[in-house]
Structures are given as structure tokens and as C-alpha cells.
Amino acid sequence: MVRAYFDNNASSPLMPEVLEAMRPTLEGAHGNASSIHQRGQAAKAALEQARANVAKLIGADASEIVFTSGGTESNNLAIRGIVGEWRASHPSATALPHLITSRIEHHSVLNVFEELERLGHPVTYLRAASDGRIEPAELQLALRPDTGLVSIMMANNETGVLQPVAEFAAMARAAKVKFHTDAIQAVAKVPIDVKALGCDLLSLSGHKFHACPGVGALYVRRGVRIQAMLYGGRHERERRAGSENLPGIVSLGAAARLDLADNARLAQLRDRIEQTILASVPRTGVAGAGQPRVPNTTDIYFDGIEGEALVIALDLHGFCVSTGAACTSGAVEPSHVLLAMGYPRARARASLRFSLGHQNTADEIDALLAILPELVQTQRRLVLPDAAPTLARLA
Ligand SMILES: Cc1ncc(COP(=O)(O)O)c(C=O)c1O
């Protein structure tokens, strides 16, 4: 039985009002927004209402919103779309443009850049400081006359650290370079105004803020041209072919209207977790403490434990949390984000992420805090210094 779900950065639950908004599209009021009959036109109206809501959430114009299948597609479309457009408009170029991103991006950004590097683009990966922040001076140093795109995330999915994205965007603009930000963990958690921010492209994803999984959007500033990735119909102003996911998009539009005032409560709950753990459990610390962070996320290390084992122990007590570790070829790899911040491997493996959503209550936090210190103590007794590699093989 799940007593409390603290893994909202992985996927957050549909809020009741979001479910209610999308229900008609699942119960008869379906239709293809491209059809000219009544049902089609109703679908089109629902789609455009959702587009207006999403645009309003980030200060964009509705025409600047492209619906996608989620954050991964939004990031791919932004990066590959800009690079593809450059290639199409420079058919006889002999050198490919230089690209800039950071080492702490989500894999839906990092892996795209790695592929572009294999295709011949020079890529610079900016470092993060030990507090998770990417220094604007690093970007200034990395910009070159042949740079074609900068992509740096707004909020990190593991630490929640917010980057100085407006500064990055201003630098990119001064250098006449396109700027994309993966804002998937920031949207609906901090106020965003794309015009004030000055970015050219911004990605968001529904299931990170209480809409459905499998739906997202890309903001493309008016006048910025991107090449579509999918060939097909002329949907989304020819930027994303394929019949739109009406229920998902309606859920995204409804989630975009949720009251964000509740974020202050989440910040208090998050702070309570940190203060209680740091005060009652020795050899713990918070990633990015002291830096501006989104209100719902904390990443805490518990030196001397195996993160995966503590996740399992918490799960047995009904609490869902996560590590930033990735399971590759049967072995648990520590988080690339924490390693990039200079964490030793053992500390990166001993880190847990607690990410809150609007469904979480103070009672749930109390229940977690009532049990966590004791579980850590038990784990520390269990994990002998040479047990870590064995546990990794077993995981
Ligand atoms: C920062 C960030 N970018 C991109 C993604 C991918 O989003 P999606 O799961 O919607 O494809 C995630 C999901 O965890 C994320 O946290």
C-alpha cells in the first residue's frame, strides 16, 4: 500500500479537476481537430483553449505553442529542429555549427547532443559548480563565432537548482545564438514569462505538473524557424505532424490553470524534511542548498548507505522516493548530475530525491520523518564498507 508518493518529478498524479476537464474527451466527446464536422470543430476548440492556457502559463502567444508527446520530444524537437533548419539553409556548408549545453542536463537533451557530436558538430558541455549552479561566465567563455545553439535547463530534475537562465539567454542573444531551455521541472513551480526570460525555445511536459503523461509542449518564439522531425500532415503549423492527443492536451490545458499559490506550502514541507533530517541524522546534506531551487524538490545524501537499498526500505513502508541513479546493463550507475557537481561516487550513490506534488500533505511528511532516521540507521549498520559493489551487482 502506498502511504505517500514523493516522486512527483518522475511523474505526478492527475489532479481531480484535471481529470474532470479531460473526462468528456474520453467519454464520447472525442473527435479529430482536423475534421470539419461538429465533433471535429469541438475538438479543435478544446485544443485551442488548451493552447491558450498553456501559453498564458508561460507568457507566450498561443501561436508560439507546439503540442508534442512530452518532454523528451520537446527537447528533441527544439535541438534537432534548430540544427536541422541550419543544415537546410546552409546546403553547401563544409563545417557544422558549434553547440553548447551542460553536463547536468536530462538525457533527453544530453543524448541528442552526443548524437550531434557523432555527426560532426563540435559540442561544449558546461560544468556545474559544487552547488549545482552553472556560472554565466562559463557560457561567456564557451561562446564562439560559429556557435549555433545553446541549451541549458531551467531547473534540474534531481537537485531542483534553478539556473540563471535569463542571463544565459541575454548572452546568447548578444552573440546572435539561439537559446533553448528545458523548463520541464520548472513550469508551474516557479513563475515563467518567456518574453522577460528572452529564450527562443522552452520545453515543458504534462506529467511533471499533474497533467497526463505522454503530452508536452514546445514554446517556439515567433520568427524562430525549426525543422519538423516527423513527416506527415500539416498539424501544429507544420512543426509537428500527427493527429493531436486531444485528452492529453486538454489535461495539459487544465493543469496549466491549477492554482500555483500552493507552491509556498510545498516549499515549507520540503524545508521541513531538510531541517528535520539534517538535525536528526548525522552525515547528511542537501544538494544545492543555498541556491535558488524549485519549491518541491530536495536531494539529500545519507553518507554510508546505498541509495537503492534505502529506496526499497522506504517502499516497503509505503513511501515512494527515488535516487538519481540509472540502471545501465544491470549495474546501478550513480547520478551523472551529482557526479558533475563533484560528489564522490559513494556519496552520489547515497543520495535520495524527495519531490513533492500538490496532493502531498503535512501528515504524509510527518509519517515519513517518523520512520526515515531509523531506516537510515539500520541501513548504515547493514552496509559494510566493502558491501557496496555486491549490492550494485544484485540491484
Ligand atoms: C528535466 C527533464 N527533462 C526532460 C524530461 C523528459 O520528459 P518526459 O518524461 O515528458 O519525456 C524529464 C523527465 O524526467 C526531466 O526531468
105 Cβ inside 6 Å of ligand 1: no
Average pLDDT of the segment spanning 5-28: 95
Q: How much distance in Å is there from the Cα of 33 to the middle of ligand 1?
A: 27
Identify the pLDDT of residue 260.
87
Instruction: For the chain, give every residue range classified as CATH 3.90.1150.10.
Output: 260-394
Is residue 65 within 8 A of residue 219, CB to CB? The reply is: yes
Query: What values do phi and psi take at 24, rounded to 5?
Result: -55, -35
How far is residue 337 from each of residues 147, 159, 160, 274, 292, measured CA to CA in Å? 24, 8, 11, 20, 17
Identify the pLDDT of residue 326.
66
Q: Place 394 in a pLDDT band, splitting at 50, 70 and 90.
A: very low
Average pLDDT of the segment spanning 273-280: 98
Choice from 205, 245, 296 to test ligand 1 binding pocket (greatest atom count within 8 A of CB): 205
Active site residues: 327
The residue that leads in pLDDT, 28 or 363, is 363
Which overall architecture, per CATH, does domain 16-255 show?
3-Layer(aba) Sandwich (3.40)
153 Cβ inside 6 Å of ligand 1: yes
Q: Place 306 in a pLDDT band, splitting at 50, 70 and 90.
A: very high
Identify the pLDDT of residue 395.
43
pLDDT one-digit tens code per residue, 67-110? 999 999 999 999 999 999 999 999 999 999 999 999 999 999 99
Identify the pLDDT of residue 31.
82
Q: Does position 10 have pLDDT exceeding 50, yes or no? A: yes
Instruction: For the chain, give every residue range classified as CATH 3.40.640.10.
Output: 16-255
Q: Is 267 helix (H, G, I), strand (E, B) or coil?
A: helix
Q: Which CATH number fits domain 260-394: 3.90.1150.10, 1.10.287.130, 2.40.10.480, 3.40.50.720?
A: 3.90.1150.10
Strand partners for 5: 320
Is residue 152 within 8 A of residue 139, CB to CB? The reply is: yes
pLDDT one-digit tens code per residue, 147-167? 999 999 999 999 999 999 999
Average pLDDT of the segment spanning 198-218: 98
The residue that leads in pLDDT, 238 or 28, is 238
pTM of the model as a whole: 0.95
In which residue are the cell numbers 518532454 written?
A: 71
